[in-house]
Amino acid sequence: MQDIDRRHFLASAAATGTLLASPPKLFAQNSMTAMPQIAVADLTSGSNVPYAMDLRTGSHNFGTGAATDTFGINSDYLGPLVKVRRGQEVQFDVTNNIGELTAVHWHGLHIPGDVDGGPHQSIQPGATWSLVLTIDQPAGLNWFHAHTHGHTMPQVYKGLAGLLLIEDDDSIAADLPKTFGVEEFAVVLQDKHLRCGWKSDSND
């Protein structure tokens, strides 16, 4: 398989999320391949049912014409944009179906260490980590990602990452365009260097 160097990283369009049921299609410049779209999980109305996050294996064509092994969260590659509101308690069931040890860290959230999801909170293959996050910070875009001891980089590169958007009274009241996929977009960019034979356990 041909290498893709950094010059082509934007053109090769590793990943992008456009956030609407039928957003305009974005295309990778070199291949005219439609970029993948990530789903929106709007949890702002609240629920007694935990939001299930299925960490799983998948494959994706990054413009090389070949299928590359990936990880995803409720998806072949990457995870959803999870939308929450300040003051909410949000329940998650995070299930590890990637066949290797992992952990999921909530990047940017002001939360206690026992739900932070660092390497001290590994999720064994086949296991489910159930937790409740209390959202108590201003509006902003945060994210979640694998934070596995010794394997964070390969697992995030392969797709274990998603977005967490916090809304609050101010952001909701703000006179700003906010219709996802029409006036507001979230884009995930990943730098890719694709080679034959690369394995997720080569943590370099």
| Minimum distance, C-beta of residue 104 to Cu ion, in the bound complex (Å) | 10
| Minimum distance, C-beta of residue 98 to Cu ion, in the bound complex (Å) | 18
Pick the stretch among 2-10, 38-46, 90-98, 105-113 that binds Cu ion (CB under 5 A).
105-113
φ and ψ at 152, to 5 degrees? -60, -50
| Minimum distance, C-beta of residue 107 to Cu ion, in the bound complex (Å) | 3
Q: Which is nearer to Cu ion, 83 or 107 (CB)?
A: 107
Using DSSP's 3-state secondary structure scheme, residue 61 falls into: strand
Residue pointed to by tokens 């005219």: 32
Pick the stretch among 65-73, 104-112, 122-130, 193-201 that binds Cu ion (CB under 5 A).
104-112
Tell me the site size for Cu ion, rule CB under 5 A. Answer: 1
| Minimum distance, C-beta of residue 22 to Cu ion, in the bound complex (Å) | 31
Pick from 8, 44, 95, 107 the residue near Cu ion by CB under 5 A.
Answer: 107
| Minimum distance, C-beta of residue 64 to Cu ion, in the bound complex (Å) | 28
Compute how many other C-beta atoms are within 10 angstroms of the C-beta atom of residue 1.
12
Three-class SS string for 54-119? Answer: EEEEEEEECCCCCEEEEEEECCCCECCEEEEECCCEEEEEEEEECCCCECEEEECCCCCHHHCCCH
Q: Can you list the pairs that 171-179 forms with residues at least 24 positions away whose Cβ atoms lie under 8 Å?
A: 171/139, 179/20
Binding track, positions 57-76, relative to Cu ion; x by CB under 5 A: --------------------
Residue closest to Cu ion (Cβ): 107
Pick the stretch among 12-20, 47-55, 107-115, 153-161 that binds Cu ion (CB under 5 A).
107-115
Q: Report the distance separating Cα 71 and Cα 79, nearest Å.
A: 9
One DSSP character per residue, 123-149 reads B-TT-EEEEEEE--S-SEEEEEEE--T
Q: Is 8 in the site for Cu ion (CB under 5 A)?
A: no
Which residues in this chain contact Cu ion in the complex, by CB under 5 A? 107
